[in-house]
């Protein structure tokens, strides 16, 4: 009987130790996740939605942007925070008041355009028509002297984290060339934020170019980092010689 009680007690102690270790690991992961996104328990965060580019309704959102917002709202909920959804053209808090997730490029999200002018000086988006013999519009962005052009076989998006001049809470910017690019970026962020934390910590700004390969066939499955442009994205490119003082 004594041996049985000893073995039972040892099992209880071992089980408690395993549970405590797993609890500590989960807690540490949660704290790192909160630190990476600038979220705290019970705090409010902002989801800034992109308008549907081809819809005449100002409040219309593309279904893939809706899916991207769901991915981000899930992150916020996992961190114990709350998410408020607003349109890119609506008045919102100043930078740093709350953590912000801004979805979509400046063509459909005025808030994104403001971020590019104020912080992401080295990043610019272009939408222009193909030559007369072509069909549709060319979608591209440029950063660090490199242009990234959307094609049927390859999509591109920007994933950036930065702070305003007064620090505070960060902005996570997800700027795809299409709604599908926005969704791919949101899913990449949800799946790889632990790796990004190990790389950039909780307080380093970054700007990454993501490539989405064969989106028509594989959706968002083949999304990868193609360039780290953190060194140039936050710096305005030099003015042409004729415009320099």
* Mean pLDDT confidence for 124-142: 69
CA dihedral in degrees (134, 140, 143, 144; nearest 10)?
A: -20
pLDDT score for 89: 72
Rounded-to-5 percentages of helix, strand, coil across the chain: 40, 30, 35
What does the alpha-carbon distance between residue 124 and residue 208 come to, in Å, rounded to a whole number? 14
- The mean pLDDT value for 77-102 works out to 87
pLDDT digits (tens, 9 = 90+) for 37-72: 999 999 999 999 988 877 767 678 999 999 999 999
Domains of the chain from N-terminus onward: 2-243 (3.30.379.10)
For 224, what's the count of Cα atoms within 13 Å in the CB-facing half-sphere?
5
Tokens of 127: 């939408």
Q: Give the strands of the sheet with 223-228, arranged side by side.
A: 82-87, 44-49, 99-103, 167-176, 154-164, 206-213, 223-228
**What is the value of pTM for the model shown?**
0.84
Instruction: Evaluate if residue 135 carries a pLDDT over 60.
Output: no
Q: What is the pLDDT of residue 166?
A: 80
Question: How far is the C-alpha of 92 from the C-alpha of 44, rounded, in Å?
Answer: 13
Q: Which residues pair with 48 in a beta bridge?
A: 86, 102
């Amino acid at each position: 009987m004594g041996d049985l009680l000893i073995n039972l007690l040892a099992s209880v102690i071992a089980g408690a130790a395993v549970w405590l270790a797993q609890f500590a690991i989960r807690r540490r992961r949660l704290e790192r996740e909160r630190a990476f996104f600038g979220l705290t328990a019970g705090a409010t965060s902002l989801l800034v939605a992109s308008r549907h580019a081809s819809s005449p309704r100002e409040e219309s959102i593309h279904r893939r942007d809706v899916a991207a917002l769901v991915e981000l709202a899930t992150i916020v909920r996992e961190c114990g925070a709350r998410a408020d959804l607003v349109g890119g053209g609506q008045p919102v808090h100043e930078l740093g008041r709350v953590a912000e997730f801004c979805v979509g490029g400046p063509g459909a999200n005025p808030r994104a355009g403001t971020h590019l002018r104020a912080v992401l000086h080295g990043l610019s988006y272009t939408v222009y028509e193909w030559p007369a013999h072509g069909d549709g519009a060319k979608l591209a962005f440029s950063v660090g002297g490199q242009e990234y052009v959307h094609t049927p076989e390859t999509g591109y998006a920007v994933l950036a984290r930065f702070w305003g001049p007064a620090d505070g809470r960060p902005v996570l910017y997800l700027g795809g060339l299409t709604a599908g690019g926005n969704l791919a970026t949101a899913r990449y962020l949800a799946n790889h934020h632990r790796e990004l934390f190990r790389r950039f910590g909780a307080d380093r700004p970054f700007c990454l170019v993501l490539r989405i390969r064969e989106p028509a066939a594989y959706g968002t499955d083949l999304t990868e980092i193609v360039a780290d442009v953190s060194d140039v994205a936050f710096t305005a490119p030099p003015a042409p010689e004729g415009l320099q003082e």
